[in-house]
Structure 1
Amino acid sequence: MDTRSGFHQSLELLQTELLAMGNSVENLIHQAVDSLTRLDEKLAHDIIESDDHIDDYLTTIDELCLRLIALQQPMASDLRIIGTAIKIATDLERIADHAVDIARITLRFSGEELVKPLETIPQMAEIAKEMLRESLISYTERNVHRAATLAEKDDLVDKLYSNVMQELISMMGVDYNRNRQLTHLILVAHYLERVADHVTNIGEGVIYMVAGKRKDLNI
């Protein structure tokens, strides 16, 4: 096997690991919001325990990237691909952390009922998951246009975040327990807004990887 052939096989393995990590992270976001919506404590515990699995993905990807740099003598364009993979894995790990944050809030509501049915928060989660899928497709396709369109969906998540924050603040009164729960729901919305930001970071990485230019999608 020649050096470049081995390099490309290693890149394919790297991409496979990234996509598997991304799929796992997307599932965690779905499960986290589901655990909150249904106040499912067992599911919340499962999400928290699965965080180690995501960390394992990050370690594997970091090691693959370091091995590629050390053994394959990559060119400048290759280094952009490797550097982008490290950055994507880091953003995916942080998204998983936010899923865990939401699961911990589910556990804080133990023995309670939600002050209101959740509507906007699941909607934010659906858009964020769709963004994540699109970002990973843009990575595999090396599609700059697809990566750039993430900015529009990020704007939508920002608007929903602003709306839900205003709604929940308006519901606050003198009841401490009610206010505490509303505050935690605002935090959940904030975590999902941050998830969307991390996804746009992935899109920016894809654009840099393909075009060699940096573009800010979080404007």
Structure 2
Amino acid sequence: MTAKHYFDVEYEHLRNAIVTMGIEVEQHLFKAIDAHLQYNEALADTVVSYDHVIDKMEMEVDDLCVKLFAKLQPMAFDLRFLASVIKINNDFERIGDQAVSIARHSLYLIPRPRLSVDLTPMTMLAKEMVHHVIDALVNNNIYFAQDVLVMEENMDRFLMEYMGSIEAIMKQDPKNVRRGINLLFITRCLERIGDLTTNVAEDIVFYMNAKDIRHSHPEGEEKPGSAG
């Protein structure tokens, strides 16, 4: 087997591994969101207990990257791909951590009366952003990745709106404070997922066309509030 053929085989292996991890993280997040929206304690417990699986997948992808770096001298595109996968892998794991945090805060809220705040629009946006970057990876579609950069601005807007609503409810009655704080943490988790998903989208654009857009819109305009 030639070095080029070996790299092609391992490239597909690595690509499949990072896509598989992304899909697992997506499902992990969806369960955490459903647990919160449905006040489903058993589902929230499942999310928390599954976290070690995501951690193990992250280590396996890292090992694959290290082996490819060690055994081969990749060309420019291959090197961009490997460097991007290392960062994407880390961001996927951190999205998984945020899903666990959502589940844990939901476990506090579930036995208690609901506050009159519905996070559904923000959770739907988080799910859509993650799904878009998975589609971008699966289909090598740069446009799906670029769409995520636009969605991030809506995520930031949701955060500010929900923070205002939740803080107002907390001020109305001290009994609402602890539940309100847990809801605020969940909104921060969702906003952080938006940031991490944006990181993934930027890395996909980078390895596909060698364009670093971490501090700019696809059109080249400066992106406010960018999380690197």
Superposed counterparts of 1:1-219, under 5 Å: 1-116=1-116, 118-119=117-118, 121-173=119-171, 175-216=173-214, 219=224
Q: Is the 8 A contact 1:17 1:61 kept in 2?
A: yes
In 2, distance between residues paired with 1:195 and 1:122? 15
C-alpha deviation, 1:115, in angstroms: 1.6
- Structure 1 unaligned residues grouped into runs of 5+: none
C-alpha deviation, 1:136, in angstroms: 2.6
C-alpha deviation, 1:174, in angstroms: 5.8
Count residues with an aligned counterpart: 217
One-letter code of the match for 1:173?
Answer: K
One-letter code of the match for 1:156?
Answer: N
C-alpha deviation, 1:144, in angstroms: 3.3
In 2, distance between residues paired with 1:109 and 1:94? 23
Provide, for residues 105-134 of structure 1, a one-character-per-residue CA deviation record: whole Å limited to 9, x for no partner. 122225312122x53x22222222221122
In 1, distance between residues paired with 2:157 and 2:132? 20
C-alpha deviation, 1:61, in angstroms: 0.3
C-alpha deviation, 1:211, in angstroms: 2.3
In 2, distance between residues paired with 1:162 and 1:173? 17
In 2, distance between residues paired with 1:164 and 1:14? 39
One-letter code of the match for 2:61?
Answer: I
Provide, for residues 47-69 of structure 1, a one-character-per-residue CA deviation record: whole Å limited to 9, x for no partner. 11111000011011000001111
In 1, distance between residues paired with 2:23 and 2:45? 19
- Residue 50 of structure 2 aligns to a residue in which SS? helix
In 1, distance between residues paired with 2:106 and 2:97? 14
In 2, distance between residues paired with 1:100 and 1:126? 17
In 2, distance between residues paired with 1:139 and 1:127? 19
Provide, for residues 81-108 of structure 1, a one-character-per-residue CA deviation record: whole Å limited to 9, x for no partner. 0111111110000001011001111222
C-alpha deviation, 1:41, in angstroms: 1.9
Coordinate RMSD, CA, aligned? 1.7
TM-score under structure 2 length normalisation = 0.88
Q: Is the 8 A contact 1:29 1:125 kept in 2?
A: no
TM-score under structure 1 length normalisation = 0.92
Q: Sort the Cα spacing of 1:81 and 1:169 in 2 relative to 1 into closer, same or farther, 3 A.
A: same
C-alpha deviation, 1:145, in angstroms: 3.4
Q: Is the 8 A contact 1:157 1:193 kept in 2?
A: yes
Q: Sort the Cα spacing of 1:196 and 1:169 in 2 relative to 1 into closer, same or farther, 3 A.
A: same
